[in-house]
Structure 1
Amino acid sequence: MFSFRRPGQGRPLLWIAATATLSGCAGGVLDPQGPIGAGNRTILLNSLAVMLVIVIPTLVALLLFAWMFRASNHNARYDPEFTYSGRIELIVWSIPTLTILFLGGLIYYGSYHLDPRRPIASSRPPLDIQVVALDWKWLFLYPDQGIGTVNQLVIPAGVPVRFKLTSASVMNTFFVPQLGSMVYVMNGMQTEVNLQADREGDYLGLSAHFSGDGFSDMNFRLRAVSPDAFASWASSLQGGEVLNASAYRELARQSINVPSASFGHVQEGLFDAIVRQTLPPGPGPAETADGEPQVSPKALPAAQQPQPKVGG
């Protein structure tokens, strides 16, 4: 990326300023914890540097011209018949052209190297996780382990994760700021994103697209643990609650501020049935007569939510 600094004593001051600035961004897109998040931060900072190359000289020129052509400067050249200058035209058009070229290169990098469907290079095989956006909670299915969770996502650190995502209601977005690549999900459609957490820790996951009254509480916690801890966690869930078509219909009812939950067995093909709408989609946010969104009568406080049960 572009760098603006002076040798010598000024260098430590710049590092101190940069550290102080980025320290306030902990937990956000400027504090990446994976390769995709790091790539996103690089694009943001490079784009900022390219645009500052335009903004800073423009501000300097504005002040310089105001000083040179002030009313009290009788030495300033006055040319009321001026109509054209090839040199000025060259400067005026070359600067935005170069800016577009630089930003175009950044866009190419982001579109190709950070393509959400592009697998992350790794010696370890990716972990498959299926994601369903509900009203107003997140359902995570682990097809290889046969388990599922609600509003809690556990992944092994250092292992690529291949997410397949859909929505069982209105359009939504899946976003873990520190891992990168916010992805939109739509009802009846499937999308994909590949992410990885380089270090163990807890990261915030959220919905970044308004979807009704429960939107503000549609968050989840992503826990990155060691591969051995992940295997132990997955094994500990097996044999618990069953998530089949009947239990899914209960889970899909609108609910606000839902606590995390887990399922020890997930019916095979459940995610595909949701995508193909074999299982009917949720109602989405209801509307009053004046068009204002409201919570469906089926949405109950978390403490009163029906618990998923074993069924046929």
Structure 2
Amino acid sequence: MNLARGFRRMLAALSLAGFAALMSGCTDRMIVLNPKGVVGRHQLDLIVITTILCLVVIVPVIVMAFVFAWRYRSRNGGKADYRPDWEHNSKLETVWWGIPIVIIAILAAITVRYSHLLEPSRPLESEAEPLVIQVTSLDYKWLFQYPEQGIATVNYVEFPAGVPVRFELTSDAPMNSFWIPQLGGQIYTMSGMAMKLNLMADEPGTYMGSGANFSGEDFAKMRFDARAVTEKEFDHWVEQIKATAPALTDQGYDELARPGAMGTQDYSSIPEGLFDRIVNKYAHGAGHSHGGAAQAETDTDPDLGNQHDMDDMAGMSGMEHHH
């Protein structure tokens, strides 16, 4: 009996030691708890507040589980009252119903506030004009287009610190999720849709970016560096790419979009309207867009528009037609 008890204690001690070792190895990787942007800070506040509110319930419940097991254990000379007919106590009922109701009400208010505050498409308050970066998730790489600068990069993105960045995101491959943990939460990239995500870095630095959604064989290689630099360094970087990098052509994009992992790449120019063509590629004649970033090709082609009108009239007798 003593041997079995000693073995169980040793196993518990080894389990705790192993858990502590695993956690110590993750301390430098818990980058979500080390935000470097205004959106990331708000999200950290939300994590801390909700965690504390949950602990208000979890900690007393865990403590009481051990206290009750110890106090009411079977033993000779026990001092606990034996009350087999007890079934109700108004004070206890008030506590274990009242506290959860108050916590849920607080969580509801916090959720409403932060849902509005952290809306991804909501522009960030800043005196600087936002930088537009168009993001396309491919198999298995990330394409970043800078429409205002006329350049593009693969598997890394660079932008000025202290300047809002408006990411416009789509996919030319299976759905993925764009995520820079220290700057803000993730948002999905989906074919036929153009999503928006506004982020801003507080200070220069290199932050980890990743695809956070399983998308196939090499999804784990869809990592990228998000480099925040000074505005002067950003301007110099743009000029350097324009002077040294090759141009991205339509044929070059088709080759880039083929499945396969690769390293980083720069392009000194991009085909006009490439991002919108990628979005509309899967729209089937009707623009699927979130936030109005892309329009349907039929909106600019009157002949196609008339054809769709006739199709709609022909199909109304049997079913309701939706674009």
User: What TM-score range do you get, normalising by the shorter chain?
Assistant: 0.7 to 0.9
Give the 3-state SS of the residue equivalent to 1:230 in structure 2: helix
How big is the shift at 1:65? 2.2
Report what 1:152 is aligned to.
156
Which residue, 208, 220, 242 being the options, matches 1:204? 208
Query: Which residues of 2 match residues 68-87 of structure 1 at below 5 A?
Result: 68-72=71-75, 74-87=78-91
Matched, 1:47 2:45: no
Which residue, 100, 125, 131 being the options, matches 1:121? 125
Are the aligned partners of 1:126 and 1:162 in contact in 2 as well (CA < 8 Å)?
Answer: yes
Report what 2:251 is aligned to.
246
Inter-partner Cα distance in structure 2 for 1:221 and 1:67: 53
Structure 1's 21 and 100: CA in aligned 2 closer, same or farther, altered over 3 A? farther
How big is the shift at 1:34? 0.6
Give the 3-state SS of the residue equivalent to 1:111 in structure 2: helix
Structure 1's 27 and 86: CA in aligned 2 closer, same or farther, altered over 3 A? closer
Report what 2:141 is aligned to.
137
Give the 3-state SS of the residue equivalent to 1:182 in structure 2: strand
TM-score (structure 1 length as normaliser)? 0.78
Structure 1 residue runs of 5 or longer lacking an equivalent are 1-19, 281-312
Which residue, 36, 58, 75 being the options, matches 1:33? 36
How big is the shift at 1:27? 6.3
Are the aligned partners of 2:191 and 2:282 in contact in 1 as well (CA < 8 Å)?
Answer: no
How big is the shift at 1:173? 0.5
The one-letter code of the counterpart of 1:185 is: T
Inter-partner Cα distance in structure 1 for 2:236 and 2:282: 33
Inter-partner Cα distance in structure 2 for 1:27 and 1:124: 30
Report what 1:306 is aligned to.
none
Report what 2:275 is aligned to.
271
Query: Which residues of 2 match residues 1-312 of structure 1 at below 5 A?
Result: 24-25=27-28, 28-72=31-75, 74-238=78-242, 240-256=245-261, 258-277=262-281
Inter-partner Cα distance in structure 1 for 2:36 and 2:238: 23
Structure 1's 35 and 146: CA in aligned 2 closer, same or farther, altered over 3 A? same
Are the aligned partners of 2:170 and 2:194 in contact in 1 as well (CA < 8 Å)?
Answer: yes
Are the aligned partners of 2:130 and 2:163 in contact in 1 as well (CA < 8 Å)?
Answer: yes
CA deviation profile, 1:181-207 (whole Å, cap 9, x unmatched): 111111111111000111111111111
The one-letter code of the counterpart of 1:89 is: E
Inter-partner Cα distance in structure 2 for 1:259 and 1:91: 58
CA deviation profile, 1:91-126 (whole Å, cap 9, x unmatched): 221122122122223322331111111111111111
Inter-partner Cα distance in structure 2 for 1:233 and 1:26: 29
How big is the shift at 1:68? 3.1
Give the 3-state SS of the residue equivalent to 1:131 in structure 2: strand
Which structure: greater helix fraction?
2
Structure 2 residue runs of 5 or longer lacking an equivalent are 1-22, 285-323
Inter-partner Cα distance in structure 2 for 1:95 and 1:263: 58
The one-letter code of the counterpart of 1:32 is: P
How big is the shift at 1:22? 12
- Of the two, which has the highest radius of gyration? 2
Aligned residue pairs: how many?
260
Name the stretch that deviates more: 54-63 or 166-175: 54-63
- Percent identity, aligned pairs only? 39
Give the 3-state SS of the residue equivalent to 1:266 in structure 2: coil
Inter-partner Cα distance in structure 2 for 1:71 and 1:279: 70
- State the superposition RMSD in angstroms: 2.2
Structure 1's 21 and 124: CA in aligned 2 closer, same or farther, altered over 3 A? farther
How big is the shift at 1:59? 2.0
Inter-partner Cα distance in structure 1 for 2:218 and 2:89: 60
